A and B are shown apart, each in its own frame.
Chain A
Amino acid sequence: MDTPFRSPLALMLRYGLLSILAFMVVCPLAWLALASLRPQAEIFQPVSEFGWHTFIPSRLTLDNYRALWNGDFPLAVKNSVFVAFMTVVFGIVVNALAGFAFAAFDFRGKNLLFLLVIISFMMPFEAIVLPLYVMIRAFGWANSYQALIVPEIANGMVIFLFRQFFASIPRDFYEAARVDGASWLYIFTRIAMPLSWPTIATSGLMLFLAQWDSFFWPVVAASAPDYAVVQVAIARNINFEQNDWGGLFASTNIAILLGTIPFLLIQRFYVRTLISGGIK
């Protein structure tokens, strides 16, 4: 390697600075992870007398997790996983179809419609919560999985991502398939979708995280304990009288860990591109 010479001092400064930054980012998470493994009584004790005990617990215990496991948190995880999974599956199909239509066809009002799509993801969700809730109520969906899933399926940002990707596929692919006798649906499922794994991965992740992190809408639309999702269940651990800090930290930890899994699974698609090769 022909890296240019760097003075050791500059290197030390650089890595020193980066280490401090990394520490600042990781520290609260590490503290959170460790705190969840402490006995209730000990959680805040070492903070007041700052020392190495602040970070290293004197005793590790899974009590907090056991308590969670026996409460209704597992149901919340199940709810969240189900809601997020369904949103990802339907969301990818619906948004990819919409994006494909915008990319492949010319139809009256296309630009106006696409503008609305773009506006839809610039609009803060809070602005449409009330009308949306009224609508969901009118459908008789309050406190149901539909209320949690359906409004999140169509996603302007994801439609935009798919449209951009499909528009970047040379039209010759579509046209060659048409001359070969393929229907548009066939072209969508057999040509466009197989080429768009990176976009599918990114979109799936966005849809998943949006659902996994969502709090406001679930509180509004499905606050019954049977439909509580993870974030709602976590928030239940906070109240004015008495805080179950151990339970709060443990549930937060689980939410973070589970939320990371999809990302770890599909991150390799981020750098991968399948487009190369078919065109000159």
Chain B
Amino acid sequence: MSTMTIDNLRKSFGATEILRGIDLDVADGEFVALVGPSGCGKSTLLRLIAGLEEASSGSISIDGRDVTRLPPKGRDVAMVFQNYALYPHLTVRANMGFSLKLRGDDKATIDSKVTDAAAVLGLDALLERYPGQLSGGQRQRVATGRAIVRDPKLFLFDEPLSNLDAKLRAQMRTEIKALHQRLKNTMIYVTHDQIEAMTLADRIVVMQAGRIEQQGAPLDLYDRPANAFVGGFLGSPAMNFVKGILGSGLFLAEDGTQLPVPDGFDAEQGRSVLWGVRPEAIGPVDQGFSGVVEVVEPTGPDTQLLVRVAGQPLVVLMHKRMRVSPGDQMTLGVQGADIHLFDAADGRRLHL
């Protein structure tokens, strides 16, 4: 059980600054997901925590102990790699017991710990096999098992599910969540898949270009993104954005279409803003703004529409079946509370 504190952490490779001052506190037992587009520095941050890269400046403490300059083995962290990195010449049992053997545990201890972890992960029958004889999901479990047996202070996951197919990924996601609820270890999980982050994490840390854009509980971030980047990054299908300026109690799109603003919103008129709304917040109403249906995509439970509004396509997601066809005229509306306004220049959220 342990906490972690990162203070003004920076990392450069040559002249390229990858991390530009990261501050992060992770509480005991917390599941933190680091998300962001590729190249945002989330994997580098994880590797710095693991000790696989050296920080340029700043500090990392685990349980109050400064580990910034310690090698990986001095940090008591376990890491699950994206491609699992199971040693191909060792059996599942030897792979899982590898770190314990290195630590000098006796054979009986190693055996019992490996057997326990194997039972938790349903690997009992596979212990004598070699990695080459396992399926993708089984390899993923062994990689997780290798981390579990150590009972480390910190679990680090580097996109552990991205090599699995969609169905298996969903299943393993649930398994990892169940595992965390059971072990209650502190876990840090890097992913570019925002669904994984939303479903697994107690807290999401959204990164971009080496900085933390926003952090908080998944639904808080989803409902109140601090800027247009976070709003656009979380959620699938992504948030719709329309460029325009503020009018008196309304928003004017570039082509002059009038769209509503959040209830009670009052700001200087003429300011350039981004009007954002999530696909599921838009729906057909009697009085609102009009659009022309361009694409209809029924997925079974939902219907996803592409509707041209204010000269640009908006994604509309409805949790029901719709009888519409391309070319149909629709009147759409959105609740004031579901509208997000961001500054057009720096993307900052303009209201609470």
A residues in contact (CB < 8 Å) with B:
170, 172-173, 175-182, 186, 191, 194-195, 274-280
B219 interface residue (CB < 8 Å to A): no
Q: Measured between C-beta atoms, what is the minimum distance from A277 to chain B in Å?
A: 2
Are A279 and B73 in contact (CB-based, < 8 A)? no
Please list 10 pairs of residues, one from A and one from B, whose beta carbons are closer than 8 Å in the complex, sorted by A's number: A173-B85, A175-B79, A175-B81, A177-B87, A178-B51, A178-B52, A178-B73, A181-B72, A181-B73, A280-B84
What is the CA–CA distance of A34 and B71 in the complex, to the nearest angstrom?
65
Most chain B CB inside 10 Å of its own CB: which residue of A176, A181, A279: A176
Are A278 and B81 in contact (CB-based, < 8 A)? no
Are B132 and A176 in contact (CB-based, < 8 A)? no
B77 interface residue (CB < 8 Å to A): yes
Residues of B within 8 A of A175 (CB): 50, 52, 72, 79, 81, 85
Are B87 and A191 in contact (CB-based, < 8 A)? yes
Extra contacts besides A181-B99, A195-B88, A277-B133 (4): CB < 8 Å: A178-B51, A180-B146, A181-B102, A278-B132
**Which residues of B in the span 300-341 have a Cβ within 8 Å of any Cβ on A?**
none
Q: Which residue of A lies closest to B50 (CB)?
A: A179
What is the CA–CA distance of A194 and B163 in the complex, to the nearest angstrom?
26
What is the CA–CA distance of A236 and B136 in the complex, to the nearest angstrom?
63
Q: Which residue of A lies closest to B95 (CB)?
A: A278
Are B88 and A278 in contact (CB-based, < 8 A)? yes
Are A279 and B52 in contact (CB-based, < 8 A)? no
Which residue of the partner chain, among B83, B103, B130, B146, contacts A280 with CB atoms under 8 Å?
B83
B98 interface residue (CB < 8 Å to A): yes
Residues of B within 8 A of A275 (CB): 88
Closest 3 pairs (CB-CB, A-B): A277-B132, A278-B88, A181-B73
Are B79 and A186 in contact (CB-based, < 8 A)? no
Are A278 and B99 in contact (CB-based, < 8 A)? no
Q: Measured between C-beta atoms, what is the minimum distance from B169 to chain A in Å?
A: 13
Known contacts A172-B83, A275-B88, A280-B83, A179 near B77 by CB under 8 Å: yes
B residues in contact (CB < 8 Å) with A:
50-52, 71-73, 77-79, 81-89, 98-99, 102-103, 130-134, 136, 139, 146, 150, 156, 163
Q: Which residue of B lies closest to A273 (CB)?
A: B88
Q: Which residue of A lies closest to B86 (CB)?
A: A278
Which residue of the partner chain, among A177, A180, A182, A274, contacts B89 with CB atoms under 8 Å?
A274
What is the CA–CA distance of A178 and B47 in the complex, to the nearest angstrom?
12
Residues of A within 8 A of B88 (CB): 195, 274-279
Q: Which residue of B lies closest to A174 (CB)?
A: B85
What is the CA–CA distance of A179 and B136 in the complex, to the nearest angstrom?
22
Which residue of the partner chain, among A178, A186, A278, contacts B71 with CB atoms under 8 Å?
A178
Are B72 and A179 in contact (CB-based, < 8 A)? yes
Are B87 and A181 in contact (CB-based, < 8 A)? no
Residues of B within 8 A of A181 (CB): 72-73, 99, 102-103
Q: Which residue of A lies closest to B162 (CB)?
A: A280
Known contacts A170-B85, A181-B73, A275-B88, A280 near B136 by CB under 8 Å: yes
Known contacts A277-B132, A280-B136, A182 near B85 by CB under 8 Å: no
Q: Measured between C-beta atoms, what is the minimum distance from B91 to chain A in Å?
A: 11
Residues of A within 8 A of B83 (CB): 170, 172, 279-280
Residues of A within 8 A of B86 (CB): 277-279
Most chain A CB inside 10 Å of its own CB: which residue of B89, B156, B163: B89
Residues of B within 8 A of A179 (CB): 50-52, 72-73, 77-79, 156
Q: Measured between C-beta atoms, what is the minimum distance from A107 to chain B in Å?
A: 14
